[in-house]
Amino acid sequence: MSRQFTVLIRREGEGYLAHCMETEILARGATQEEARDNLCKALESYLKTIPPEEYPKEGVDLYFMRIEVPC
């Protein structure tokens, strides 16, 4: 069985940070691919620790926009 999750990967310092939006689990890597792979491993480990009925819901509604803030 497999599940799909929403992941945000962003540059942070010298590497990348992958963030699973459904679980708040984070993983780092030197490249985007490494961060993604590390996040997949972390999610696999996490899902093994909880019963299937407690699995997080797949997919989240995300809204990205730019806002202007006076300063």
In order, the DSSP letters of 8-33 are EEEEETTEEEEEETTT--EEEESSHH
pLDDT in the model for residue 44: 94
State the residue range of the domain holding 52. Answer: 1-71
Global confidence as pTM: 0.82
Q: What are phi and psi of 63, to 5 degrees?
A: -130, 120
Question: Model confidence over 15-46: pLDDT tens digits?
Answer: 999 999 999 899 999 999 999 999 999 999 99
Q: What is the pLDDT of residue 33?
A: 98
Overall number of domains in the chain:
1
For residue 32, give the CATH number of its domain.
Answer: 3.30.160
Q: Is the pLDDT of residue 9 over 90?
A: yes
